Structure 1
């Protein structure tokens, strides 16, 4: 692959993608979460490029202006995973290093489980394996995830985000978002019309195949969790190891909020680079 990708297509939709770093480098696909876009990785990628890696950061379904289909079924995890597969094809089809934060982590877990032959290494941030997350809902996690239920109410998230400095902004600030993060949320998500599509990921949760939430991961994996995360608790983080049948590392960032790519980019970049080295770890003692 010698040309830069600015977009890729799937099923009549056009996705924007930021393609940076050495064109001949191993490909790292970076999946953003809610409510963010590909720019959430901006402070992380320079270190990856310096290490010779090429990064592809797409604006995912509902966020890219050309990929905002109607109906919540269009945002099922099966569709989100198929979008990533289309990006891997567009990048030449070779296996990639896959990274995801927040909702992007859920997509990354699912993609790695369904397409292990196309993933060299997996790195997920904040959100553990879907099976571990669901089991943790029997405890305090259910209170942390209250907003998932609120987002099912038609029009409610849009009303919460309607006013600058209103309910949504205050809730995001409480999770650790800084003024610059909130300004980007306003500009890239609310003002650009991406909020309904982002919320649709939550509304499509009932259409996730049960077998996908229990699918085990068999590729070298790094999971990064921060103890200042108000949305994703420790229980789901600690349970995740039980869902990975491969070299696995669990790393905790102390004093960092949920927004790891923005608030601890240097530490995260180093962990991602260390994770890339897991590809050659085989089965030898990497479960730390």
Structure 2
């Protein structure tokens, strides 16, 4: 347990050497990186993965506005310092990717290099994102569903293990309709889980032990993690000063060709433009064939190889 930014974060740690901070996404925990610890540590790095605020054994602030992007970046900055370091490599997946990208954007002095999995670098749009999605999909985009206080919280907490099993199957490259450009739309009256398939057998990369660990980490419910989504428009307001800014630190972007996130409106075009928009993008975005949303879990060997090459190239 580490005290940072006014809260306590639970971390997992392995290895010695330059610090690499691994930031998980939704609905996950530090455990989503368990296949990265050994290889990165063996390559000569000190690997630290926190349960981010609102998750697992870390603190779960009650206030919705305690989960803004400035709080989340502040947690990373505080963690780096609490670990006795001045700089770190910062790597994020899903929601952890925007936290990693924004840490490099807001505090480039503390970031040796940055990598994002699934979610590409942030380029602030002209209007608040929740309002844009509400207008585009009539309030059915999952961000808008999550925005409703207590609704998704209650649905997901009815049977935590089943919720997580469905989510991991739905978002994986193994799902029947993965990679078909589908958008995550929700009928708010019926909820999201009712239309998600419940697999009889888990994929080889996500075992029953993995599901046990993840289920235990959500014993305090889903409200903290969902509060991240409830700050999407607030984050847009708070980052006005960085409108048009670019991540200038060395950067790596990895995504799966069957991941739903890179198919979000405007995202395929953004990914195609990244080499021209990112002055220090390492090589070109790495697209993993057959990989869904859970990038580092579905393709650990390919992700580990790419991360180690990237980190060593910028050591």
Q: Shorter-chain TM-score category?
A: 0.7 to 0.9
Q: Tell me how far 1:242 sits from its aligned partner.
A: 4.2
- Distance, in Å, in 2 between the alignment partners of 1:133 and 1:255 is 30
Trace 1:131-210 onto structure 2 (pairs within 5 A): 131=123, 146-161=141-156, 162-163=158-159, 169-176=165-172, 178=202, 180=207, 182-189=211-218, 192-208=219-235, 209=238, 210=240
In structure 2, do the counterparts of structure 1 residues 124 and 15 end up closer, same or farther at CA, with 3 Å as the change threshold? same
- For residue 147 of structure 2, give the secondary structure of its aligned residue in structure 1: coil
Q: Tell me how far 1:109 sits from its aligned partner.
A: 0.3
- Distance, in Å, in 2 between the alignment partners of 1:101 and 1:88 is 18
Say whether 1:67 aligns with 2:94. Answer: no
Once the two structures are superposed, residues 225-267 of structure 1 have per-residue CA deviations (whole angstroms, 9 ceiling, x without a partner) of: 1101023323343343344222433111110111011111111
CA root-mean-square deviation: 2.6
Q: Tell me how far 1:8 sits from its aligned partner.
A: 1.6
- Distance, in Å, in 1 between the alignment partners of 2:150 and 2:244 is 31
Say whether 1:235 aligns with 2:293. Answer: no
* Equivalent pair of 2:5/2:75 in contact (CA under 8 Å): no
TM-score, normalising length from structure 1? 0.83
TM-score, normalising length from structure 2? 0.76
Q: Tell me how far 1:45 sits from its aligned partner.
A: 1.7
* Residue matched to 1:286: none
* Residue matched to 1:272: 307
- Distance, in Å, in 1 between the alignment partners of 2:5 and 2:79 is 12
Gap runs ≥5 in structure 2: 175-201
- Distance, in Å, in 2 between the alignment partners of 1:118 and 1:165 is 38
* Equivalent pair of 2:87/2:110 in contact (CA under 8 Å): yes
Gap runs ≥5 in structure 1: 1-6, 281-288
Q: What count of residue pairs does the alignment treat as equivalent?
A: 266
- Distance, in Å, in 2 between the alignment partners of 1:214 and 1:108 is 18
* Residue matched to 2:119: 127
